[in-house]
C-alpha cells in the first residue's frame, strides 16, 4: 500500500521523501490504514503544516523483517496454510530474505515508480511491535538506505523475553528465552532468530547499533523509540534505551500510558509521524 501526499498530483515536478511503515506479527499491509487510520493522521499533519512525504506500507508476513537463520518448512507451510488467511503463494517462501526485500528490492521499486528523493537523508522507516523491531534493525543494518527510524512498542531486545521479569540479562540461555515468550509469538521468532546465541546476537538491535557506531559513527540513523507503560514489551524497550545510552547513539525515548494495542498506536501515530517527517525534511 502506498499513500501519496495531497500535492502529489497537483505538483508534477515535486519530489518527496519516503517513509516505510511496517506492520506487526499476524498483520498485513492494510493494518496501518485500516486499524491504524494512518491516512487520516497524515492528512491532518499535512493540513497543520507538517512536511509532506510518501508513505509505503509493505506486507512483511510474519518474517521479523530479517533473513531467517535457517530454511523454514516451505512445503509444510504451503500444505498447512488455512484457507481463510493470506494465500500460501503470498505467505510461504522457500528462504525468507525480508531485510533485503524491504531495504533493497522495495526501495528500488518505489524510487523507480514514484517521484521520490532517492537519497538516504530523505528516507526513513517506522513500525509497530514486530515492525518496530524491523524498523530499528533495518535502519542499523542498512544505514546507507535509511537515515531515521521510529519504533512503536517494538521487540527491541529479543533475548530479554517478555513480561514483568523476562529472561535473565547477561549470558544467553535459549530455554529461558523460550519460556519467557507466549507460544504463538515464539513460533514466529525462533525460525527467524535461530537456536544459538550467535544467531540472536547477529539480529539484536543493540548489537547492531554498537557495531555501526564503532565502525561508521557518522552513519548512525536518528532513532525514536516509545512504548506503553502497560506493554509486555516494556522491559525490552527499556533495555534497548539503556544500551543506546552506553553506546552513545542518537535516540529519543518516550513512555506513554497504554498497552500493546491499536488504541496506543493510533494515539501516538501523529506525534511519531511528525517526528519522522521533520527528520526527513532537514536539509
Q: Tell me: the pLDDT tens digits for 198-252?
A: 899 999 999 999 999 999 999 999 999 999 999 999 999 999 999 999 998 789 9
Neighbouring residues of 242: CB distance < 8 A, sequence distance ≥ 6: none
Which residue in 41, 43, 32 sits closest to 7, CA to CA?
43
Asked whether the predicted pLDDT for residue 176 surpasses 90, the reply is: no
This model's pTM is above 0.85: yes
Which residue in 220, 64, 251 sits closest to 142, CA to CA?
220
- Residue 260: the pLDDT is 97
Give the single-character DSSP code of 221.
P
- Residue 265: the pLDDT is 98
Asked whether the predicted pLDDT for residue 92 surpasses 70, the reply is: no
Across all residues in the chain, what is the average pLDDT?
90
- Beta bridge partner(s), residue 124: 19, 148
Picking from 58-72, 103-117, 262-276, which range would have the lowest pLDDT averaged per residue?
Answer: 58-72
Strands (DSSP E) found in 26-108: 54-56
Amino acid at each position: 500500500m502506498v499513500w501519496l501526499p495531497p500535492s502529489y498530483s497537483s505538483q508534477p515536478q515535486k519530489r518527496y521523501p519516503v517513509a516505510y511503515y511496517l506492520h506487526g506479527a499476524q498483520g498485513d499491509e492494510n493494518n496501518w490504514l485500516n486499524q491504524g487510520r494512518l491516512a487520516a493522521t497524515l492528512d491532518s499533519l499535512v493540513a497543520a503544516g507538517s512536511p509532506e512525504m510518501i508513505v509505503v506500507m509493505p506486507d512483511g508476513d510474519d518474517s521479523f523483517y530479517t533473513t531467517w537463520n535457517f530454511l523454514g518448512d516451505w512445503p509444510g507451510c504451503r500444505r498447512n496454510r488455512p484457507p481463510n488467511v493470506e494465500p500460501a503463494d503470498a505467505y510461504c517462501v522457500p528462504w525468507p530474505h525480508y531485510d533485503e526485500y524491504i531495504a533493497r528490492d522495495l526501495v528500488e521499486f518505489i524510487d523507480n515508480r514514484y517521484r521520490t528523493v532517492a537519497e538516504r537523508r530523505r528516507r526513513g522507516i517506522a513500525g509497530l511491535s514486530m515492525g518496530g523491531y524491523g524498523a530499528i534493525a533495518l535502519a542499523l543494518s542498512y544505514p546507507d538506505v535509511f537515515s531515521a527510524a521510529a519504533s512503536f512498542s517494538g521487540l527491541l531486545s529479543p533475548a530479554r523475553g517478555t513480561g514483568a521479569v523476562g529472561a535473565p540479562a547477561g549470558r544467553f540461555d535459549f530455554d529461558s528465552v523460550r519460556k519467557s515468550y507466549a507460544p504463538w509469538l515464539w513460533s514466529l521468532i525462533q525460525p527467524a532468530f535461530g537456536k544459538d546465541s550467535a544467531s540472536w546476537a547477529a539480529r539484536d538491535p543493540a548489537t547492531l547499533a554498537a557495531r555501526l557506531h564503532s565502525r561508521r559513527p557518522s552513519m548512525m540513523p536518528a532513532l525514536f523509540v516509545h512504548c506503553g507503560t502497560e506493554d509486555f514489551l516494556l522491559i525490552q524497550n527499556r533495555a534497548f534505551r539503556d544500551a543506546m545510552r552506553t553506546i552513545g547513539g542518537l535516540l529519543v525515548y518516550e513512555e506513554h500510558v497504554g498497552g500493546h494495542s491499536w488504541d496506543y498506536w493510533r494515539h501516538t501515530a501523529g506525534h511519531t509521524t511528525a517526528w519522522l517527517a521533520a527528520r526527513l525534511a532537514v536539509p
